[in-house]
Chain A
């Protein structure tokens, strides 16, 4: 490329600066999006891991059949025994207590207290203290920092805490910890707290039982072991050693090593946004290639002139490819800074949502390289075909071009057919003819806008689908309140106690037990997280005809009244606890310390619950003789019309059960469950809406530039129209109509394409994040929104070109090369 050709290139860009700006901005926007998303991924991948590890999470938790109490010697002996096993790098003896908390007589909220001995050295599972100090004094707890706004309390304030079977106690919030291993309080609707056996002695014995042995397992190469199988094997060795020393281990929890509980959803969000961002980049690249192709078409006569004076195809291709490269480089240069800034802002927001601290927002070098490559290489590569086509024009073809262009074969017949359509009006007829005249260009423009529209509608439909998934999960529950007990009580008594509460119209009391998959010869292993929620597995004995839950059957069937050993699993249980299980399989579970055998008869969807196995009361009574008439959970229907009313009934119910000495462990209103589920998905929804908007902007910028190109190509034709009497207003109307017709055609294609795309996207993303496809939602709102956006946007985008057409003078037009 010589200096002269660079000058031509620069002046050509300046001459069509409006179009140039549109091309640069559309690529810059999508490059910025891609760069920002890569930045977020890079920062969060590093910081999530760093935050999680800052809490020195345990690799495994061994649940002891008997708590270790008494003198410190017993604890020390157990810890030493565990530490002596190969691979164990740290040990700690702890307890976890499920409790309730409330402030100033307000509603009870769920609480999980992680209890440690007062002299615990905090080498394992020790969330960093942010306010206050460790260990807290008697009557004090440290809460996870997100609990403060959730409860509406400050450090120093007193709260009422109660554990099942223990007296209510006033505890002081003495400080906060940052526990990155648990979800924020508002998402799980649970307060996580840290205490010592001394500081929560007032809660009674259940709160001070140390029945969990935590171990850290090291990797052979140093650091923490990341292989769950190896961690599990080490934990089993420890369990065996403890059993030999007289300490029976009932269960081993091995959560996914080094993974935040919401890791799966974060990965899904990340991939979704990156996929849409990449789609936006590809879209803008194809749009730019189309615009460049149009620019080359507008320079057909110049190409002819240059070839006539000796330019080769290669020289011209290099010239126009340099044009594409200049645009791509300019756009990327424009985007890099904002993408890093935007990425850091987004990372900070995500960190806030995930309760993370960003120790550094440094971006790895590969992010910049990938962003640069994407911003420069993708548009240039996509631009090659149209630029090559233009460069290959022969002198003859170029000189013979009269600016109108178009395939004179099929399009001529189509134009003839259109000319016979009655009542269309001059502008619509001309607009349609212009679209048909260059079928390839029209098809590409319509396709690009349609892709943008389909992605936009799909994104919003998916957002609605997320919401519907939550709604469906709630809709399967026909109860308002749930109370769980720490120990089973007579079921009928519990039911009547609940029915006696004003506002309660129906109640059912069911047995509920934590379960684990039995593996003979070893301690049962689960993937449960220390928060007692993620990864947990429970068994519920429910009447097959209960009206309180109606779960969609995914395979097999629901329970029947005559079922004995029939077992129905939720999708989550089937995939996470018993991967590969199919209807008909035999399933062995440890329930309340007993080995039980079941026959899998069905798999149901149960979004919003922990992994659950459902059995009939008959089957439960058979498997656990003597336990069939007990219950550890009651679900209640109320007459309350709203959340406040339901909360009031829950409060009365809890008080009544407390007064009767029922060991209430936790309480939950359906409204709180809804809020928790919403908290899990709203990030996804917002992300989808944001990328949908990005795609809309890129598409409209592209349309503006394409229409501008189309007007430039037809300059002489428009001038001739003026000569034969067309007013500037008529020219503007013609151009505007063409833009609207293009957008209208694209709208139809977009809506049709969005149907399968929504279904596919919902299936892939839903299964990835929550193991359930998103309910297919094709609501009118996204279609209406895109219709308005695309048509109004097309009008606005075309306005510039339309104004230019109206301003042309005949003289200007006829002297244009």
Chain B
């Protein structure tokens, strides 16, 4: 049985920033591999390097050393228009503060990535946007401006936008940071569903109780990975599937 190539692969990736009097190491040399269908949470205190890691995956920051491969491309070798184009097609980004454009309707915000990357025919884009909004449960808000939506609705619109170009990888930076518990749960269920479809979801979070939705938890401390383990949910799922397999084998 062959092991599929990881969708995300970091090899000795490090990131340091120049500061007065020297440099500050935000991320120490790190190796990391994430496969398709994984829902990975990256946790740690402020300043542990979580957002730095996410930015490296999204190509927002170039690494100081090592290589970053995401969705089959060496991200650390991409610049300018090539990087923007790759990001639009391969990565869906979800931010803590939603980052929806205020003068575009919700549907138009979802259409924006398709517009910039030229994906799909123009006439089909609105239909796809509506389908995505329906999937995240806010199709009835399509014609409104973001300011008219609640925080949860805006974040779901942002998730729909992140899926506009059918990106295989979703990167989320504190997506539930501004949401109440119930809304957060719905967003996390959404992410879990996307991962179950085979997408790779990496989410940076402060919150401790997202473990039941994620399949893997990576903990960072002072720029280094100090823990990388399956979550209880994943462990239970793996045990369940192993038991079933064993039963089947026994049969």
Contacts and interface: CB of A to CB of B under 8 A. Distances in A.
Interface of A: 2-5, 7-8, 11-12, 15, 301-302, 304-315, 394-396, 399, 815-817
Nearest to A304: B99
Contacts of A815: 147
B81 A4 contact: no
B58 interface: yes
A12 B101 CA distance: 10
Interface stretch (B109-117, B203-211, B216-224): B109-117
Contact of B99 (A308, A310, A315): A308
Given A394-B60, A399-B60, A302 B115 contact: no
Please indicate which of the listed interface residues A302, A311, A315 has the most CB atoms of chain B within 10 Å of its own CB.
A311
A376 B84 CA distance: 31
B164 A309 contact: yes
Contacts of A8: 101, 103-104, 108
Max chain B Cβ within 10 angstroms of own Cβ: one of A3, A15, A302? A302
Given A309-B164, A311-B116, A302 B60 contact: no
B108 A7 contact: yes
A310 B165 contact: yes
Contacts of B243: none
Contacts of A399: 60, 95, 99
Contacts of B147: 815
A307 B99 contact: no
B89 A310 contact: yes
9 contacts: A4-B115, A307-B84, A307-B87, A308-B58, A309-B88, A310-B117, A396-B55, A399-B95, A817-B97
B112 A313 contact: no
B186 to A, nearest CB: 21
A817 B101 contact: yes
B93 interface: yes
A7 B84 contact: no
A336 B84 CA distance: 41
A311 B100 contact: no
A309 B93 contact: yes
A817 B99 contact: yes
Q: Which 8 A-B pairs have the closest CB atoms?
A: A310-B88, A11-B103, A305-B99, A309-B113, A312-B81, A310-B116, A311-B116, A312-B84
B85 interface: yes
B61 interface: yes
Contacts of A310: 84-85, 87-89, 113, 116-117, 165
A306 B112 contact: yes
Contact of A312 (B112, B116, B146): B116
B102 interface: yes
A108 B137 CA distance: 98
A660 to B, nearest CB: 91
Interface string B49-83: 00000010010110000000000000000001100
Interface in B112-126: 112-113, 115-117, 122
Contacts of B99: 301-302, 304-305, 308, 399, 817
Given A8-B103, A12-B103, A2 B87 contact: no
B213 interface: no
B161 interface: yes
Contacts of A309: 87-88, 93, 112-113, 116, 161-162, 164
Interface of B: 55, 58, 60-61, 80-81, 84-85, 87-89, 93, 95, 97-104, 108, 111-113, 115-117, 122, 146-147, 161-162, 164-165
Contacts of A306: 101, 112, 116
A7 B100 contact: no
A80 to B, nearest CB: 84
Contacts of B88: 309-311
A11 B108 CA distance: 12
A485 to B, nearest CB: 83
B117 to A, nearest CB: 4
A7 B101 CA distance: 12
Contacts of B108: 4, 7-8
A397 to B, nearest CB: 10
Contacts of A313: 80-81, 84
Contacts of B116: 306, 309-312, 315
Contact of B80 (A2, A11, A302, A312): A312
Contacts of B102: 15, 302, 816-817
A301 B122 CA distance: 26
Among B58, B85, B88, residue most surrounded by chain A Cβ atoms (within 10 Å): B88
Nearest to B108: A4
A305 B101 contact: yes
B183 to A, nearest CB: 16
A313 B84 CA distance: 8
Contact of B81 (A7, A12, A15, A314): A314
A5 B84 contact: no
A308 B104 contact: no
A314 B103 CA distance: 21
Nearest to A302: B101
A55 B87 CA distance: 76
A387 B66 CA distance: 34
A309 B59 CA distance: 12
A395 B61 CA distance: 9
A4 B98 CA distance: 20
Contacts of B146: 817
A310 B115 CA distance: 9
Nearest to A310: B88
A34 B138 CA distance: 53
B142 to A, nearest CB: 14
A522 B230 CA distance: 114
Give the one of A2, A304, A816 with max B CB within 10 A: A2
Contacts of B115: 2, 4-5
B93 A308 contact: yes
A313 to B, nearest CB: 7
B85 A396 contact: no
B251 to A, nearest CB: 49
Given A302-B101, A313-B81, 14 more contacts: A4-B111, A305-B101, A306-B116, A308-B87, A309-B116, A309-B161, A310-B117, A312-B116, A313-B84, A315-B116, A396-B55, A399-B60, A817-B98, A817-B146
B61 A396 contact: yes
Contacts of A396: 55, 60-61
A308 B89 CA distance: 10
Nearest to B84: A312
A396 B56 CA distance: 11
A395 B104 CA distance: 20
Nearest to B171: A308
A344 to B, nearest CB: 41
Contacts of A15: 102-103
A15 B147 CA distance: 13
A307 B60 CA distance: 10
A48 B162 CA distance: 69
A301 to B, nearest CB: 6
The CB with the most chain A CB atoms within 10 A, among B55, B61, B81, B89, is that of B81
A715 B97 CA distance: 16
A314 B118 CA distance: 14
A314 B82 CA distance: 11
B104 A11 contact: yes
A390 to B, nearest CB: 15
Contacts of A312: 80-81, 84-85, 116
A5 B108 CA distance: 10
A305 B113 CA distance: 10
A787 B60 CA distance: 49
Nearest to A5: B115
A566 B237 CA distance: 119
A440 B11 CA distance: 42
A399 B54 CA distance: 13
B119 to A, nearest CB: 9
A307 B79 CA distance: 12
Nearest to A814: B97
Nearest to B119: A310
Contacts of B113: 309-310
